[in-house]
Amino acid sequence: MQRKAFKMQLKPGFEAEYKRRHDAIWPELTKLLQDAGISDYSIFLDPETLSLFGFQKLESGNTGDELAGKAIMRTWWDYMKDLMDTNPDGSPVCKDLREVFHMD
């Protein structure tokens, strides 16, 4: 099992809307993520900087890198792009974080 952490950037004034949309995450998107081998997925918000910190566990042999080609994923990105910094293809700007400490 691999752990992955990353950060994204929320636009000012969209804190409540970002949470509302994730509270109502589409079941088909949840299934897509699970089927890709992603579990224990959390996103945290730093309200001072509006940085979003994501954490997920990836099963060995996961297909997370293939999610960008899935219609549901692209529709979700389109749904979220008004709230956060995005790339030209609509995906969120994600910066991977390097693990410097872990304790079980």
Q: Which residues are catalytic?
A: 22
- Which residue in the block uniquely carries the two structure tokens 């589409």? 26
Please classify residue 51 by burial: count the beta carbons closer than 10 Å to its beta carbon, then call 0-12 exposed, 13-18 middle and 19+ buried: middle
Element (H, E) at 73: helix 71-80
DSSP secondary structure letters along 5-59 = EEEEEBPTT-HHHHHHHHHT--HHHHHHHHHTTEEEEEEEEETTTTEEEEEEEE-
